[in-house]
């Protein structure tokens, strides 16, 4: 059985005080719902807020994640942040290959692969993001694009490493747009991703890997995704910035009441 995962990507939002308040709100809301046995919850603040959020989450089951990392462990890499530095701050997860990094900052599949390896080397679980652009979907190349992203990123990992990876299917056209894939299509794409993992590794690894959907997930539509058999939770951007709604989505992913309201 795969344990559902609800992850919040706070992107480049919030002041330090706002980030701390949100972290406290998520931790206390989750405690009130008593769903942490059924669902794993992760928040990914900006790097500069990690330490404060880490303190705010101390003693709660909410895990800390970062939004990126560099593939080298240390050195003259101005502006970059390493795996060991994330471990030091208590990060258990790190987002790798988010579409905003691929498409706004030009990150290649090869860069994504090196970052994934670095995260695994330091015992930080990567949340690997994949997803097609609207032109690729219109041209009938969504499946091939996503399969290629998965295969390039995971190439060279051992089966033990591969099973640590969480994969988020985030169609680029659905991110921050209010448009989203249908539950059925999210399920089909998650199945396609699982098939790639099975071909690269083993059926057992494919069964173990958690696959999330991301792209305009909100309390009002989360149930459509987390009820799909191939979808093991969600990676949420905008709607993760509000504690009550985020906790409701986590509860929905954990199979409890809480999703559904606007």
Positions touching ligand 13P (CB under 6 A) are 9, 98, 170, 175-176, 214-217, 235-239
39 Cβ neighbours under 8 A, 6+ residues apart: 3, 4, 5, 6, 233, 250, 251, 253, 254, 255
Instruction: Single out the catalytic residue among 40, 49, 98, 132.
Output: 98
> Closer CB to ligand 13P, residue 154 or residue 239?
239
The active-site residue out of 20, 170, 180, 224 is 170
| Shortest Cβ 239–ligand 13P spacing (Å) | 6
Q: How far is the CB of 67 from ligand 13P (least distance, A)?
A: 9
Nearer to ligand 13P, 120 or 212 (CB): 212
Determine the 3-state secondary structure of 36 from DSSP.
Answer: coil
**What is the distance between the alpha carbons of residues 119 and 84, in angstroms, rounded to a whole number?**
9
- 225: number of Cβ within 10 Å: 28
DSSP string computed for 162-218: HTT-EEEE--GGGTTSS----HHHHHHHHHHHHHHHHHHS-HHHHHHSEEEEESS--
Nearer residue to ligand 13P within complex by CB, 163 or 180: 180
CA–CA separation, 6 and 122 (whole Å): 22
- As measured in angstroms, the least distance from the Cβ of 42 to ligand 13P is 11
Active site residue 180: no
Q: Closest CB to ligand 13P among 43 and 175?
A: 175
Candidates 225, 230, 231, 222; CA nearest to 251 is 222
Position closest to ligand 13P via CB: 237
Known catalytic membership, residue 40: no
Rounded least distance, CB 234 to ligand 13P, Å: 8
Q: Which residues are catalytic?
A: 98, 170
């Amino acid at each position: 059985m795969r344990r559902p995962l609800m992850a919040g990507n706070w992107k480049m939002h919030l002041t330090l005080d706002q980030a701390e308040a949100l972290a406290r709100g998520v931790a206390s809301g989750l405690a009130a719902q008593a769903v942490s046995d059924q669902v794993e919850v992760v928040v990914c603040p900006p790097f500069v807020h990690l330490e404060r959020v880490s303190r705010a989450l101390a003693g709660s089951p909410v895990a800390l994640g970062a939004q990126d990392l560099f593939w080298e462990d240390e050195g003259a890499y101005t502006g970059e942040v390493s795996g060991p530095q994330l471990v030091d701050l208590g990060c258990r997860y790190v987002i790798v290959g988010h579409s905003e990094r691929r498409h706004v900052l030009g990150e290649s599949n090869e860069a994504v692969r090196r970052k994934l390896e670095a995260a695994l080397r330091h015992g930080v679980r990567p949340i690997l993001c994949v997803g097609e652009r609207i032109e690729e979907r219109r041209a009938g190349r969504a499946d091939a694009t996503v399969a290629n992203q998965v295969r390039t990123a995971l190439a060279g990992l051992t089966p033990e490493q591969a099973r640590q990876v969480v994969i988020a299917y985030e169609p680029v056209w659905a991110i921050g747009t209010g448009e989203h894939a249908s539950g059925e299509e999210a399920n089909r794409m998650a199945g396609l991703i699982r098939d790639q993992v099975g071909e690269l590794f083993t059926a057992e690894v494919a069964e173990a890997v958690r696959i999330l959907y991301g792209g305009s997930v909100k309390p009002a539509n989360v149930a459509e995704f987390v009820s799909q058999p191939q979808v093991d939770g969600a990676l949420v951007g905008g709607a993760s910035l509000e504690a009550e709604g985020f906790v409701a989505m986590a509860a929905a992913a954990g199979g409890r009441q809480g999703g559904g309201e606007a």
